[in-house]
């Protein structure tokens, strides 16, 4: 029987020794947007008002974050395109993930505020988590470990290719 399963990427994150971790006071979304390192920052797409980024510690394959570019912590603080474009982007990403991964469902959610579970309470972001029947296996129950079968870099490249193909074909957020 296995008592522990070593997951070094999680240990580094929890301990704060992850070389790519940011100080607690900074916003990893704003920092990533300010840099010209989309690959390293796991940014898959930048819109006029919205960014799509891979979750560095995914709950499941294809776990994405969709965030307004503007640093706001409440839906009430968003207006106009900053409010509308993230929802249109979520809908677009669902279409792309349907093609790429054929999930049987999704968890799509926004945690607003620390008390609601927001790990980054100052910058709103929606989670998109593809789901499949039976995707919860024995690993989380026995080993408190989630199995993600594709590397972030590999998935990021596949997702970026799908986004580019959609844009080349004339796709828009309002479809």
Active site residue ranges:
125
CATH assignment of 8-168, given 3.30.428.10, 3.30.70.1880, 1.20.1250.20, 3.40.190.10? 3.30.428.10
State residue 39's pLDDT score.
93
- The secondary structure of the chain, three-state, reads CCCCCCCHHHHHHHHCCCCCCCCCCCCHHHHHHHCCCCCCCCEEEECCCEEEEECCCCCCCCCEEEEECCCCCCHHHCCCHHHHHHHHHHHHHHHHHHHHHCCCEEEEEECCCHHHCCCCCCCCCEEEEEECCCCCCHHHHHHCCCCCCCCHHHHHHHHHHHHHHHHHCCCCCCC
Low-confidence ranges of the chain (pLDDT < 50): 1-7, 9-16, 19-24, 138-143
Q: What digits encode the pLDDT tens for the residues 19-45?
A: 444 444 589 999 999 999 999 999 999
Q: What digits encode the pLDDT tens for the residues 104-128?
A: 999 999 988 888 887 888 899 999 9
**What whole-number distance in Å separates Cα of residue 28 and Cα of residue 98?**
27
CB 129 within 8 A of CB 59: yes
| pTM score of the predicted model | 0.77
State residue 60's pLDDT score.
86
State residue 31's pLDDT score.
93
């Amino acid at each position: 029987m296995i008592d522990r399963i070593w997951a070094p990427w999680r240990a580094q994150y929890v301990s704060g020794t992850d070389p790519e971790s940011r100080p607690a006071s900074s916003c990893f979304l704003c920092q990533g947007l300010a840099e010209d390192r989309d690959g390293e920052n796991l940014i898959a797409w930048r819109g006029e008002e919205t960014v799509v980024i891979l979750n560095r510690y995914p709950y499941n394959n294809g776990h994405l974050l969709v965030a307004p570019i503007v640093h706001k912590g409440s839906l009430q603080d968003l207006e106009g395109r900053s409010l509308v474009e993230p929802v249109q982007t979520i809908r677009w990403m669902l279409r792309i993930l349907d093609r790429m991964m054929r999930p049987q469902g999704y968890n799509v959610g926004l945690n607003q505020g620390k008390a609601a579970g927001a790990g980054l309470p100052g910058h709103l972001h929606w989670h998109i988590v593809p789901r499949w029947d039976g995707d919860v296996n024995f690993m989380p129950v026995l080993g408190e470990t989630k199995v993600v079968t594709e590397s972030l870099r590999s998935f990021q490249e596949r997702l970026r290719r799908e986004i580019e193909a959609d844009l080349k074909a004339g796709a828009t957020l309002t479809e």
